[in-house]
């Protein structure tokens, strides 16, 4: 029979799983609430990205390999993941500021 999936095998992919599940939840909330939910969903998106960053920071610093060597997490990949998350947070905040300026301070 097949073995169960243990946490050690999934742990290197945990930040990506957090982002995927969170993005699906935000997508469903946005589809249900419509355009009026943009400020709230943007805030939740920033919190989700911060949560993924915390998960990345809590990962061990040594090299971790998953899925038979096809997924490698080392110090360089952790740095680049954090860089992408910071850039994404900056882009979301910049878009919120631009929207506030264009609408005269109201969403």
For residue 2, is it within any domain?
A: no
* Domain carrying residue 79: 9-103
The SS3 call for residue 15 is helix
C-beta atoms surrounding 45 within 10 Å: 17
The pLDDT of residue 1 is 45
For residue 93, is it within any domain?
A: yes
For residue 4, is it within any domain?
A: no
Instruction: Give the count of domains, the chain.
Output: 1
The pLDDT of residue 4 is 64
pTM, full prediction: 0.86
Residue 48 in contact with residue 18, Cβ under 8 Å? yes
Cα–Cα distances in Å, from 89 out to 18, 54, 58, 84, 86? 16, 14, 19, 9, 5
Per-block mean pLDDT, blocks of 10 residues, the chain (107 long)? 66 93 96 87 96 94 85 93 97 92 77
For residue 55, is it within any domain?
A: yes
């Amino acid at each position: 029979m097949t073995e169960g999936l243990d946490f050690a095998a999934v742990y290197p992919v945990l930040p990506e799983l957090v982002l995927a599940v969170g993005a699906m939840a935000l997508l469903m909330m946005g589809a249900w609430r419509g355009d009026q939910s943009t400020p709230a969903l943007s805030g939740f998106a920033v919190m989700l990205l911060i949560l993924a960053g915390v998960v990345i920071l809590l990962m061990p610093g040594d090299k971790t390999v998953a899925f038979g060597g096809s997924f490698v997490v080392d110090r360089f990949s952790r740095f680049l993941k954090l860089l992408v998350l910071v850039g994404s947070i900056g882009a979301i905040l910049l878009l919120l500021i631009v929207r506030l300026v264009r609408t005269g301070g109201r969403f």
